[in-house]
Amino acid sequence: MAVRRFFVIPIAIVISLSFTFFLLNSDGMSDANLLGFDMDKDGVPDSFDNCPRNTNFDQTDFDSDKLGDECDIDDDNDGLSDSLDQFDTDPEDWADFDFDGIGSFKDTDDDNDGILDVVDSSPLPISESLATKYLHDIRVCADMDEGTSRLVCYSAFFGKIAENEENNSDALELSIALSKIGTIDDCHFVSHEVGHVAYAENPNVIDNLIGMDGTMCRGGYFHGVLAAYFHEVQENNKKLPSDYKSICDDLIGSSNYQDCVHGLGHGLVHFFGEDLNSSLDMCHEMSFYQDRLCVKGVMMQYTDNVLTRQGMNQNTLSTLCDESELSSVDFMECSMSVGTTLSFFTNHDVEGGTEFCKLIKHEQSQNYCLEGLNLEIRDSEKYETDPLTLDEREKFQPQFVEGTSKVIDIQSPAVVSDFHFISEAGFISFVIDRPHYVVMYIPNEYVTSKMVVTVGGEIPDDLDAKRNVLGEDISMIRFVSENSGLVMITPLP
């Protein structure tokens, strides 16, 4: 029988005792809670530390439950974890659904409509009503570890909301609110599921899109509807619809048209699966700007599918975008979309996403990945803090050249009307309803090396032109006008 030897060692500590003695046996520290042992190195021995594994010098414990705030998942003991609770030191309040800084319990005007709740027939914003109704489901997802599992949980939850509630925009309103609260990293991904359910209940693409706000969750709902449509076509072993290029045409002239064409790209990947080039070929059949929107959707869906299935390891990240198989522009879009997808997989954390981008061996692809990562995070933050008004949203307004398959793409928040194009003279004219920027992509065959641009008879001060954009036979004309009225683009002899 082994003889156990004990040693008495004095330890100086700062808390109320001058000296504390504890036992150390010859086998090492077999007692896990020995006085003086400081696992988190915060200067407080574990026997006195209310968060022995979390550094917390101040030892604050708001609810006095002997569990420090640093490691207490419910600081105010109201039954809601801090990850969900906006007011985690106020047991009476947990959220602020009109985002005026006042918790719903204390807020006398919950929906900020200027009518006090006591006399308001509908005092609560729909997001608060749904959050109250489905609080248990929200808590289940909120209490999961951050990452893919929590995102999947919320996706399933919002599918349930879309099935149960009559108005799909209500589900999106709740997703936006939970995103602002910080419970959901970004509502774009979960809004895909709302779009899937909407199409399953009403298998008509345009019916589901008309009347919806494409900017809600940055178009995720639109992407989900289009993805569900093409998935159904593929599941039923049907051919790709011959009218796929015009599926969004009813939305031309609205800001929603861009989200629809981008969603088309998502849908093509659902149809063609891992055959990336077939999806890209369908996009390339469209006009220049339509093609760019479509390709972005293709690459987002493709990179998401592959990384979900194969994981974020160096081999997958390094081979996902094959420069030898893609055009230079598509290679760039693919690599940037890897960064976009990584931002979602890492909860829009710059450092976490950067670590994964840097696993990519191809230097240029790695740089594009970092660019896509940072761009997505900036767009997400801008959407949360500074959403564009309806008037300021860019409207994609393609103009179809009569008698040809050619398209002149026009982007502008201003509304374009009365478009005319005389191909023999290379003359283009249209009207914009207010001063704003206008970007045009014109097939090279319709422009000359010298052209004059006027708005209301005046040449805009801010005017730019470029030929062979992204290596394509496309010219770009961009101007910012201080006037509304007639735009004329005239070739010089």
Q: Which one, of 449, 445, 448, 454, lies nearest residue 474 by Cα?
A: 445
Lowest mean pLDDT among 27-31, 139-143, 175-179: 27-31
- pLDDT at residue 112 greater than cutoff 90: no
Q: Between residues 116 and 105, which one has the greater pLDDT? A: 116
Lowest mean pLDDT among 35-39, 71-75, 85-89, 460-464: 35-39
Digit-coded pLDDT (tens) for 344-355: 888 889 999 999
> Which of the four pLDDT bands, split at 50, 70 and 90, describes residue 54?
confident
Q: Which one, of 372, 375, 277, lies nearest residue 327 by Cα?
A: 277
Q: Between residues 71 and 82, which one has the greater pLDDT? A: 71
Q: Which helix (H) or strand (E) holds 471?
A: none
Q: Which residues partner with 437 through β-bridges?
A: 480
Q: Between residues 29 and 75, which one has the greater pLDDT? A: 75
Alpha-carbon separation of residue 31 from 47, 52, 291, 452 (angstroms) = 11, 15, 66, 85
Q: Which two tokens stand for residue 224?
A: 């989900």
Q: Which one, of 132, 152, 155, 149, lies nearest residue 84 by Cα?
A: 132
CB atoms within 10 A of CB 227: 25
CA distance 146 to 348: 11
**According to the model, what pLDDT value does residue 117 have?**
74
* Secondary structure letter of residue 428 according to DSSP: E
Lowest mean pLDDT among 10-14, 122-126, 366-370, 388-392: 10-14
- pLDDT at residue 372 greater than cutoff 50: yes
Whether the Cβ atoms of residue 489 and residue 429 lie closer than 8 Å to each other:
yes
The amino acid occupying position 244 is: Y
Q: Which residues partner with 7 through β-bridges?
A: 24
- pLDDT at residue 135 greater than cutoff 90: no
The amino acid occupying position 210 is: I
Task: Specify the pTM.
Answer: 0.74
Q: Which one, of 479, 409, 470, lies nearest residue 451 by Cα?
A: 479
Residue 346 φ then ψ, to 5°: -115, 20
Residue 418 φ then ψ, to 5°: 55, 50
Nearby residues of 129 by Cβ (< 8 Å), 6 or more positions away: none
CA distance 160 to 137: 10
Q: Which two tokens stand for residue 78?
A: 């109201």
CA distance 467 to 451: 12
Nearby residues of 380 by Cβ (< 8 Å), 6 or more positions away: 186, 188, 218, 343, 348
Tell me the mean pLDDT in the region 38-62: 72
- pLDDT at residue 82 greater than cutoff 80: no
Query: pLDDT > 90: what percent of the chain?
Result: 51
Q: Is 409 exposed, middle or buried (0-12, 13-18, 19+ CB in 10 A)?
A: buried
Mean pLDDT of the chain: 84
Q: Which two tokens stand for residue 1?
A: 């029988």
CA 78 to chain centroid: 31
| Backbone region of residue 403 per phi and psi (left: phi > 0; alpha: psi in -120 to 50; beta: other values) | left
Tell me the mean pLDDT in the region 41-68: 72
> Tokens 């394509």 belong to which residue?
472
Digit-coded pLDDT (tens) for 231-250: 999 999 999 999 999 999 99
> Which of the four pLDDT bands, split at 50, 70 and 90, describes residue 143?
confident
Tell me the mean pLDDT in the region 294-317: 94
Q: Is 264 exposed, middle or buried (0-12, 13-18, 19+ CB in 10 A)?
A: buried
- pLDDT at residue 360 greater than cutoff 80: yes
> Which of the four pLDDT bands, split at 50, 70 and 90, describes residue 215?
confident
Q: Would you kindly state where each structural domain of the chain is located, as residue ranges?
A: 1-72, 83-184, 208-385, 397-491
- pLDDT at residue 253 greater than cutoff 70: yes
Segment 144-151 long-range contacts (CB within 8 Å, at least 24 positions apart): 146/185, 146/347, 147/345, 147/347, 148/308, 148/345, 151/185, 151/189, 151/190, 151/344
> Which of the four pLDDT bands, split at 50, 70 and 90, describes residue 40?
low
